[in-house]
Copies of this chain bind each other. A is one copy, B any other.
Amino acid sequence: MLNLDQIDRDSDQSPYRQIASTLRDRILAGNEGYQQGDKIPSEAALIEHFGVARMTVRQAINELRGEGLIVSEHGRGVFVRLAPPVRRLASDRFARRHRDAGKAAFLAEADASGYKPEVDRIDVRRGPAPKAVAERLGLANEAEVVIRARRYLANGRPVETAVSYIPGELAAGTAIEQADTGPGGLYARLEETGHILDRFTEEVGARMPVAEERQSLGISPGTPVLTVLRTAYDTKGMAVEVCDTVKVAPAYLLQYDFPAR
């Protein structure tokens, strides 16, 4: 007894779509339906209930996977996806008051939102600036920059990867070239070089992740990513950093304020 409607063979809609709709309705029904993390009926049970071939049931499940509603676990079952905790990023997240408290933006925000922050896979090296970065930094193509890559986790789950590019001359001999940038983070070190931060520009987009990103962010097919390319400018209007981030989309809500001017 699955307590699901039967499909209508005379309908215009194909059986697999009807099955997908039936399951989708249950997932979206909230309290009366399947809950987050619930196991949905096995393929065998659905085949029996709807009286269709296995591929038909799998096609319905595929549909829902593509919508990001469910995740399959080999040998265990298919489960309603857990919504990750949402990180709400306001445009004052780089405000100086956070740096003054000795905290980098990610840590300050974790404090406020109450999740456990971690940063891992820190990799610092020097190399040529990619084209898009060189453009924004106002450097010659392939000019040498310090490249800082890292991954952010909230409550143990990867939520974002970030790669910062800092002009080589600017970073020379500072903690920017160390894995640990010290209290206040990268921006605090930048300001110590005399480049006081004045404003940021962020370019926001969204797309499907490539396989490598799916891997490093631990996300299943059907989950998009938000891309944010941030450029930091000092009070003289010079671009001092470009930061290229890839965020697990369902885990983020970005908030920006701007004047109507």
Contacts and interface: CB of A to CB of B under 8 A. Distances in A.
Contacts of A4: none
A91 B258 contact: yes
Interface string A201-245: 111111110110000000001111110000010000000000000
Given A206-B206, A207-B249, A208-B66, A258 B261 contact: no
Contacts of A221: 66
Interface string A83-115: 000000001101110000000000000000000
A125 B55 CA distance: 44
Contact of A226 (B199, B206, B250): B206
Nearest to A66: B221
A129 interface: no
B68 A260 contact: no
B205 A226 contact: yes
Choose among A226, A258, A259, A260 the residue with the greatest number of B CB atoms under 10 Å from its CB.
A260
Contacts of A226: 204-206
How many copies of this protein are present in the complex?
Answer: 2
B95 A249 contact: no
Interface in A45-73: 55, 62, 66-68
A66 B259 contact: no
Contacts of A261: 92, 95-96
A51 to B, nearest CB: 21
Choose among A55, A207, A232, A252 the residue with the greatest number of B CB atoms under 10 Å from its CB.
A207
A225 B67 CA distance: 12
Nearest to A28: B210
Nearest to A225: B206
Contacts of A31: none
B254 A205 contact: yes
6 contacts: A66-B208, A199-B259, A199-B260, A204-B256, A206-B249, A207-B250
Interface of A: 55, 62, 66-68, 91-92, 94-96, 197-208, 210-211, 221-226, 232, 249-250, 252-261
